[in-house]
Amino acid sequence: MKRLAGKAALVTGGACGIGRAIVERFAAEGAHVAIADIDTAAASNLEAELGGAAFHVRLDVTRDADWGGAIDELERRHGPLAVLVNNAGINVPGSIADAREEDWRRVHEVNGLGPFLGCQHAVRRMRASGGAIVNVASVRGQRPSSGQVAYCSSKALVLNLTESVALYCGEQNLPIRCNAICPGVVDTPLLRSGFAALGGEDEALLRLSGLQVMNRIGTPEEIAAAAVFLASDEASFVTGAAFNIDGGFRIRDQ
């Protein structure tokens, strides 16, 4: 039996990196997946590769109207929204000394307002038929670095939001679970875009690998495995959790 058989799922930032791996695993596990992204070209390419198990829809997570339209489209095709993965995220480096206000606002819009709107829409839609929300936070929400003040605080927000949503659903007796994943360093285009600033690929991989107890960086597929579990009925007694898939990053002396 496939672990997500027949479930209608929406994955934000699903065209690339961790989101793409989640879309691929969800499709392989029998879900009907909406690849919800601002990069419609990449999303449409992935749709073609998956041949019918997924479709793409343009969604900017910071725009409330986009959310309604994207979920309407998914529900029209495949029935009630059963799984939402709030994965889309951006990082603009900067410390408290040099981060620009506009960068702080943008990072918090995508990484904070985006999941807030997603959870709000999901709770409204899942109220009767139930479902699972998976928020992709980061170990940086638990262990901040000085050089990414906006990113780290936005990910701490996601962890707190996850608990707040889980509490609300419990208090209201809603059949909705809400959990977070905290990845460590994962090999994606977002990560590789910063390699030049870290002295090139070899130097960057060495430095970033050393942040994990396991002395390597992770793969998007390793994060997707956790998303499948949290989205599936196997996680029926899990809510309000922060699931670290981080190769031991959180427990390592930095």
CB of 247 within 8 A of CB of 218? Answer: yes
Distance CA 3, CA 11 (A): 17
235 binds ligand NAD, rule: CB under 6 A:
no
List the beta bridge partners of residue 223: none
- Taking CB under 6 A as the binding criterion, the range among 47-55, 70-78, 84-92, 237-245 that sits at the site for ligand NAD is 84-92
Considering beta carbons, is residue 186 or 231 the nearer one to ligand NAD? 186
DSSP 3-state of 136: strand
User: Is 151 one of the catalytic residues?
Assistant: yes
Distance CA 19, CA 252 (A): 26
- What single DSSP character describes residue 79? S
Residues 92-111 that bind ligand NAD (CB under 6 A): 110
Q: Which of 229, 220, 249, 251 is nearest to 87 (CA)?
A: 220
222 binds ligand NAD, rule: CB under 6 A:
no
Q: Which of 105, 93, 118 is nearest to 14 (CA)?
A: 118
- Taking CB under 6 A as the binding criterion, the range among 142-150, 165-173, 189-197, 199-207 that sits at the site for ligand NAD is 189-197
136 binds ligand NAD, rule: CB under 6 A:
yes
Considering beta carbons, is residue 31 or 136 the nearer one to ligand NAD? 136
Give how far Cα 39 sits from Cα of 33, 36, 56, 177, Å: 16, 9, 10, 29
183 binds ligand NAD, rule: CB under 6 A:
yes
19 binds ligand NAD, rule: CB under 6 A:
yes
Residues 39-68 that bind ligand NAD (CB under 6 A): 39, 59-62
Q: Which position among 26, 151, 243, 249 bears the catalytic label? A: 151
Note the residues at the interface with ligand NAD (CB under 6 A). Answer: 12-13, 15-19, 37-39, 59-62, 87-90, 110, 136, 138, 183, 185-186, 188-191
